[in-house]
Amino acid sequence: MSYLSLSAVFLAVAALGGLGAALITRRRPHAAALGLTALTLLLLTAVFDTVMIAAGLFHYAPGQLAGAHIGLAPIEDFAYPLAGVLLLPALWTALHSRRSRREPSIDREEGGA
């Protein structure tokens, strides 16, 4: 299995999980926040992967790569931060929604605002 196909599977699972959690909770993350987060994580991935590869901390089998790189980082490395952007906000919302249904709010118990 190539790195690209592994990344595609990982992204598909994250997208389906994120979509499923968003549909269940009926809450959508803000597009601007997701975009800014994705941009930041992609930039950090490009910089730090390039530094780690240049330092010799890890390497990839060239026959398994798609061939496109950003800096020294192969394009496949950018799937994981994107998967995090897709899945983690939806997971956070789903877990928060589940917790809210189980536990009454402290404000409601004390009659606060």
d(CA 22, CA 83): 15
Q: What is residue 70's predicted lDDT score, i.e. its pLDDT?
A: 92
pTM, whole model, 2 decimals? 0.72
CA 111 to chain centre: 38
Q: Which two tokens stand for residue 61?
A: 């089998």
Per cent of the chain over pLDDT 70 is 82
Buried b (16+ CB within 10 A) or exposed e, 41-72: bbeebbeebbeebeeeeeeeeeeebeeebbee
- The vertex-14 CA angle with 74 and 42, nearest 5°, equals 35
**Residues 24-63: pLDDT tens digits?**
777 676 788 889 999 999 999 999 999 999 999 988 887 8
- Sorted by where each begins, the domain ranges of the chain are 3-101
Mean pLDDT confidence for 52-78: 88
